[in-house]
Chain A
Amino acid sequence: MAEATKKMQVSDEVAIQISSMNKWYGQFHVLRDINMTVHRGERIVICGPSGSGKSTLIRCINRLEEHQSGRIVVDGTELTNDLKNIDKVRSEVGMVFQHFNLFPHLTILENCTLAPIWVRKTPRKEAEETAMHYLHKVKIPEQAHKYPGQLSGGQQQRVAIARSLCMKPRIMLFDEPTSALDPEMIKEVLDTMIQLAEEGMTMLCVTHEMGFAQAVANRVVFMDQGQIVEQNAPKEFFSNPQSDRTKLFLSQILGH
């Protein structure tokens, strides 16, 4: 894995720029003065206690959640109320959810070809070829004509990853992708994500898989109470945490 990490180069190009971003749910201040720059090729793991706003943060990046002040610029497109910009960002940014959110009324293949056909206007045949390519990559091409309900959780999550990849996104967001999985299925999903990281995908990943963070992340961001408390390279972050809050968090999740 060390060899692989060498291949994962980070460029100077900025992929996501978040500056002084704030978000409220009604009166509740969920995200407070978030400043963050993500470069192309970076793999960022976001962790923190539940309710710390980590999921909300990455959901702001493709505007599943609206922010109320500050700026978010994704791939040079600023997220505002302009629907065209939002659709543009969404088609460039893939997202994988905790509960997979596959479309149960469509087959695996249809799940993967839907967005390319309707959003990208790719011809059906080409979209199906691309879909089969990515299904091969996540190692379940033989399930292409089944429905999501017939697959295991781990397989469904890999389909969800393939579905996002079919849009050829430049950035991938992962929102606790392994939290709803049985322990023996976590590995197959993480392996797919590691493979993706090795290919140079820009990734933001909310996860509690600290092994994954150590293996592929080049930065770990720790959040608490809607704020970024600490961020560092994984080695530093785990061996030498600075703030007391981080130390407490790490002692709790690594302590058993």
Chain B
Amino acid sequence: MSDSSFVRTQMLPPEVPPLTERGLVRWMRENLFSSVLNTVLTLAGLAFVIYAVAATLPWFLNGVWNAKDIKECREIVLANAGPEATGACWALIRERWHQFLFGFYPADLYWRPVLALGLLLVSLAPLLYYSMRRANLILVGTVSVLTLIALALLAPGAALLVLFAGLFAALTAVAWYAPQKLVWLTLAFPLLAFALLWGGSVWGPIGVAAGFGILALVYSLTKSFLGVVVATGAGVVAAAVWWLMVQTSVTTALHGAIPLGIQAVNSDQFGGFLLAFVIGVTAIGASLPIGILLALGRRSDMMLIKTLCVGFIEFVRGVPLITVLFVATLLLGYFLPPQSNFDLILRVIILVTFFSAAYLAEVIRGGLAALPKGQYEAADALGLDYWQAQRLIIMPQALKVSIPGIVSSFIGLFKDTTLVAFVGLMDPLKGVTTIVRADVAWKGIYWEPYIFVGAIFFAVCFGMSRYSMYLERKLKTDHR
């Protein structure tokens, strides 16, 4: 018999790998201690982490929440932790949180921005989760409960509270039975929020809505003989004329005839995160469609449209945002008709929107360029017209590819809202913090307000980032 012949008589049972090759031990061997250099780096990193925690943790742990000024804070830390210890003075946040959130918005009207925030989150639900019942219900339900608790604490009055409870109960029911129907709230939200935040005569928001009505009317009347693009342009011009020249006098007259409305709040009372959200959310919502149109325009065959879009994008991208903001405050005033009462926040929103739209246009153009030519050809060959092809075939794919870039732009835009401090608006980071730190009672406080503001910005931006990752996973259908 030759040595090479072999017959197995018994099959081997599976065994667990040796201790050093499984679980945590294996992970550490592979990732932390795989070589001498890595071991040294791991130990050095560990030492740094221990040092950093040792330096900052006592500061957090010794934090004082109840004090009337920074002096008292320091005394409490001294009494509790000894002369060498440091401690955070969160009492500042406790006393001034409302300014960080609302600026100088009248305290008895805090329920209005809170309600607006609740409605914002509810009206985002159908956009974020489309018609997914469970997700819509969880979001709307949670938001409803939190908003109602906040509203109850702000005590706007029993009658209003019952009304809001009914409203949010109804919205939660809609979220469960017909989530898509929430889109109607989404469509109405901009005007609703405008009416809630600024208050004043109800005719103001209705006048603004009428502008959109005029746009739609002019578009539908002229579309048949002017074509989609020119008709849209004509509609925009007509609406702009209405908003800038006519609206104020008409709404004033209407208010004189039928005075309906709630207490008005002036733009200079807005501040803190209220301001950041008003500017950020509006600009994010408005810049996406404009960015899409600019991206399409830049790829258009029509010479004039292409030139205009390229010119706009390149000009805006070449100019710092702060320049644009100064234009909003100073230059725009000279060009507008004197009777137009053009709010500073509104001006800033419009320019920030266009600024962000130019960046988005380039991100989306990248997505468009990533699509194979065959997709356009297949859409053409099936007889879809340009806008149908864009809406049904091209954009769903191009936007999906561009999600990371789009969300990056949104996050950048939201953080850039702090730059409005330079034109005298009270952003949460510089505007409010400077005011708070200028108070004699809190003079010398440094880290606490920035940590507080930074934490809120982080929470919002991290949320956007996580949602975009979820969306990418959900939309992944190519199974590559």
Contact = CB atoms under 8 A, between A and B. Distances in A.
Interface of A: 62-64, 83, 87, 90-91, 93-95, 97, 99-105, 114-115, 118-119, 147, 149-150, 163-164, 167
Contacts of A83: 385
A84 to B, nearest CB: 10
B367 to A, nearest CB: 12
Interface in B371-414: 372, 374-375, 377-378, 380-385, 388, 392-393, 396-397, 400
A147 B479 contact: yes
B10 interface: no
A75 B110 CA distance: 68
B479 A115 contact: no
Contacts of B385: 83, 87
Given A101-B377, A103-B393, A118-B388, A149 B382 contact: no
Nearest to B383: A91
Given A99-B372, A103-B397, A149-B477, 20 more contacts: A87-B383, A87-B385, A95-B378, A97-B377, A97-B378, A101-B372, A103-B393, A104-B397, A105-B400, A114-B384, A114-B392, A114-B393, A118-B384, A118-B388, A119-B383, A119-B384, A147-B479, A149-B478, A149-B480, A164-B382
B397 to A, nearest CB: 5
Contact of A119 (B375, B377, B382, B400): B382
B302 to A, nearest CB: 13
B167 interface: no
A64 B377 contact: yes
A163 B383 CA distance: 12
Contacts of B380: 62-64, 90
Contacts of B381: 62, 64, 90, 93-95, 97, 164
Contacts of B477: 104-105, 147, 149
A220 to B, nearest CB: 24
B479 A149 contact: yes
A51 to B, nearest CB: 18
Contacts of A118: 384, 388, 392
A61 B385 CA distance: 17
Nearest to B374: A101
A97 B475 CA distance: 25
Contact of B382 (A63, A99, A147, A163): A163
A114 B393 CA distance: 10
Nearest 6 Cβ contacts at the A-B interface: A91-B383, A101-B378, A149-B479, A101-B374, A115-B382, A95-B381
Residue with the greatest number of chain A CB neighbours at <10 A, chosen from B383, B384, B385, B393: B383
Contacts of B374: 97, 99-101
A64 B388 CA distance: 17
B473 to A, nearest CB: 14
Given A97-B374, A99-B374, A101-B374, A90 B382 contact: yes
A128 to B, nearest CB: 16
A61 to B, nearest CB: 10
B71 to A, nearest CB: 62
A99 B378 CA distance: 10
Contacts of B377: 64, 97, 101
Given A114-B392, A147-B478, A147-B479, A103 B384 contact: no
7 contacts: A91-B382, A99-B372, A99-B374, A104-B397, A118-B384, A147-B477, A149-B478
Contacts of A104: 397, 477-478
A164 B382 CA distance: 7
Interface string B327-365: 000000000000000000000000000000000000000
Nearest to B386: A83
A105 B383 contact: no
A136 to B, nearest CB: 21
